[in-house]
Structure 1
Amino acid sequence: MTSYIDASSPTGNGRRIKVLSTDLIFSGVDNIFVYPSLNVDRLRDALSRTLSFWPILTGRISVESDDQYFIEFSDNSIPFTYNENDELERWPDLPVIVDDVKLIQPFIDSTKYKPEIEPLLRFKVTRLLRSDEYILGTSFCHMVGDANSIVHFHNDLSQIYQNLEPIFPRPVFERHLLNKEDSDFSSLPVLKLYRNTDKKETILARLAKECIETDPINMSFSSEQLAKLHMLADDSNEITTHDALCAYIVFLMNTHLFINEDEYIRRAYIYVN
């Protein structure tokens, strides 16, 4: 059974933010939470109140004729599905990250890319009748934000469900895109991908080509190793642990991967997602 949840106090106010076509290459972010008990009506009410702080999630994606992408803060409803399952004995002991989506797909109502009509957030609650467990599945459109944003949303929802105040700071929905007006920004030529974006199909084709022509390098560092790198670099506030790590990786590549100095990396631009 599916119902629709509105924000208790709509706060979209007709705003819109521009997003890049590069955002379209990511699918929805799905999460599963397992609870020994859950008050479903209370969850619906908490979601309604939380949406007042997160009006972007009640919006819709819009595409203009010149391939400009926006999220319209349109104060739409969020689908909330409730099911009961009498087949599963109890929720299985699964790893934190599940590679086989078939295991969790029945418990998630995943978001899809359908401009103008598709919600940016979907909820699904399944009660396992045999164990009396409750499975909460949430699907979050990646165009709205990354994992950090999703954590903040779920935290706000949890706080409100417990009749607690959401933790500050409140979410802010602004985005500054690099464009031709930012002529003083020295990295603009390097950031061409993010300044002059193409259609989703073009971006996916380019990424597929890069995947074929390049090889990934996987490196793992412990927290102790990162702390030592930071200490060796300077251990001051001016150089972050991330700075030290990037410098070390460049040093390793220059030392062990390249044959002569003409191939050495002289300058690196680091992008962090």
Structure 2
Amino acid sequence: MSQKNSFVRLSLSYLILIILSVCALYPAIWVVVSSFRPGGSLYSKNFFPEKWTLDHYVTLFTGTQYTFDIWYLNTLKIAFFTMICSVFLMTLSMYALSRFRFRGRKTMLSVMLILGMFPSFMSMIAVYIILLQLNLLDTHIAMILVYSAGAALGGFIVKGYFDTIPRSLDEAARIDGASHLQVFLKIMMPLSKPILTFVALTSFTGVWGDFIFARLVLRSKDNYTVAVGMYELIASQTNSYFTLFAAGSVIIAIPITILFLILQRFLVQGLTAGAMKG
């Protein structure tokens, strides 16, 4: 009887996993297939097109009214420098909060926790006014600064990871004459590869797909990111470039997919280890 119940539970588990997989994969496969469909409409009687074409991919990079290559490079630049700045700011600040004891430390952690409870778009009007006064609107440096500063406020998982590293390693290094910077660079950083990978990956992917803040700050077409530029393709009521939009979506998803496939081991390690101790 127990074997029968076990078989039923296992069958139900596989059935649920299959249903969830279909629900997750079907929209993605539909977008990929639609990017090879002739015409401008996503609707078709057949799931697979009768005729496959690469025209939409060619148009993205050669069309005179689109600057997809510029949008792509803009997004890559912003995401890359945001990733570097976010990792730098987050690791330094969380290392200080994890290893040092100073007045106002608990208050700072509480303030960061409370600020993290509010959606980021609530502060966009204030950020917009500040950038306007600093004459930084429609610049990529403004986006990098805001993205990096926002990422540093959510570093509790990094602090949790640093807390799991024994303090005896720090003490042994200081006995040998190492400074705080040497301890940070030569001990903490090599032991923190999983969490650094996690922070870098989430920072990169978060910027790569962001639309709301980029739409608020960027004004000129040559400064657009891919999210804003792709929106402009279908924003007008007179345009119906949905298959072109699908082709752009596939190209946008390629680097993120590759990064997740390569770094998924470090990603899981960073998530689990950083959640062990707060």
Q: Please, what TM-score do these two structures have when normalized by structure 2?
A: 0.24
- Name the one with the larger strand percent: 1
- Name the one with the larger helix percent: 2
Instruction: Say which structure, 1 or 2, has more relative contact order (CA 8 Å, 6+ apart).
Output: 2
Larger Rg: 2
